Structure 1
Amino acid sequence: MGAPLEAAYERCRALHREHGRTYYLATRLLPAWKRRHVHALYGFTRHADEIVDRMSGASPQARAAELAAWSAEFLRGLRDGRSDDPLLPAVLHTIQVFDIDLDDFRKFLASMAMDLTVTEYETYDDLLGYMEGSAAVIGTMMLPILEPSDRATAREPARQLGLAFQLTNFIRDVAEDLERGRVYLPRRDLAEFGVTRADLERALATRSSPPKIKHLIRYEVSRARRHYALAAPGIPMLAPASQACMRAAYRLYGGILDEVEAQDHDVFARRATVPKWRRLTVALACILSRPGTAVPAPAAADVPQQRDPSALLDLRGTAA
Structure 2
Amino acid sequence: MDRDVKEVLKACEAMIKEGSSTFYKAFGFLQSPRREAVFVIYAFCRLIDDATDEPERSCYTPEELAERFDQLETAEGHFIWPALRWLFTSFPVSKAPFWKQMEGQRLDSHLTHYESMEQLERYCYLVAGTVGEMLLPVLHGHPDRYVAESGIWLGKAMQIVNIVRDVGEDRDRGRRYIPLELLAKHNYTLQDFQSGVMNSSWTSLIEELCLLAGDWFEKGLCNLEAYPRQSAFCVELAARMYGAILEDAARHHYDVFTRRAHVPAWRKMTLLQQLLKKHGMPLPKEREESTAVS
Superposed pair shares fold, TM > 0.5: yes
Distance between the aligned counterparts of 2:96 and 2:242, measured in 1?
26
Which residue pairs with 1:75 in the alignment? Answer: 70
Cα contact 1:148–1:154 (8 A) shared by 2: no
Distance between the aligned counterparts of 1:8 and 1:116, measured in 2?
30
1:42 is matched by which residue type in structure 2? Answer: Y
Structure 1 runs, 4 residues or longer, greater than 4 Å off: none
Which residue pairs with 1:5 in the alignment? Answer: 5
Which residue pairs with 1:92 in the alignment? Answer: 85
Matched position secondary structure for 2:162: helix
CA RMSD of aligned residues (A): 2.0
Which residue pairs with 1:255 in the alignment? Answer: 244
Distance between the aligned counterparts of 1:100 and 1:83, measured in 2?
21
Distance between the aligned counterparts of 1:122 and 1:192, measured in 2?
12
Q: Does 1:159 align with 2:152?
A: yes
Q: Does 1:210 align with 2:199?
A: yes
Which residue pairs with 1:183 in the alignment? Answer: 176
Which residue pairs with 1:290 in the alignment? Answer: 279
Q: Match for 1:66 among 57, 61, 66?
A: 61
TM-score, length-normalised on structure 1?
0.82
* 1:148 Cα deviation after fit: 5.4
Which residue pairs with 1:301 in the alignment? Answer: none
* 1:285 Cα deviation after fit: 2.2
Which residue pairs with 2:18 in the alignment? Answer: 18
Cα contact 2:136–2:143 (8 A) shared by 1: no
* 1:3 Cα deviation after fit: 4.4
TM-score, length-normalised on structure 2?
0.89
Which residue pairs with 2:122 in the alignment? Answer: 129
Deviations 1:52-100 (A, max 9, x none): 11174x9xxxx8x8110121111111xx265332222212311221121
Distance between the aligned counterparts of 1:183 and 1:241, measured in 2?
37
Distance between the aligned counterparts of 1:94 and 1:129, measured in 2?
27
Matched position secondary structure for 1:184: coil
Which residue pairs with 1:232 in the alignment? Answer: 221
* 1:110 Cα deviation after fit: 0.7
Cα contact 1:52–1:116 (8 A) shared by 2: yes
Cα contact 1:143–1:151 (8 A) shared by 2: no
Distance 1:27 1:200, change over 3 A: same
Which residue pairs with 2:132 in the alignment? Answer: 139
Cα contact 1:108–1:134 (8 A) shared by 2: yes
Distance between the aligned counterparts of 1:4 and 1:73, measured in 2?
20
Distance between the aligned counterparts of 1:76 and 1:85, measured in 2?
14
Which residue pairs with 2:112 in the alignment? Answer: 119
Distance between the aligned counterparts of 1:40 and 1:183, measured in 2?
30
Matched position secondary structure for 2:187: coil
1:173 is matched by which residue type in structure 2? Answer: D
Which residue pairs with 1:52 in the alignment? Answer: 52
Q: Percent identity?
A: 27
Consecutive unaligned residues of structure 1, counting only runs of 5 or more, are 292-320
Distance between the aligned counterparts of 2:208 and 2:124, measured in 1?
18
Which residue pairs with 1:102 in the alignment? Answer: 95
Matched position secondary structure for 2:33: helix
Deviations 1:242-295 (A, max 9, x none): 11111111111111111111112222242111111221221232222236xxxx
* 1:12 Cα deviation after fit: 1.5
1:242 is matched by which residue type in structure 2? Answer: S
Distance 1:148 1:216, change over 3 A: farther
Cα contact 2:169–2:257 (8 A) shared by 1: no
Distance between the aligned counterparts of 2:21 and 2:74, measured in 1?
31
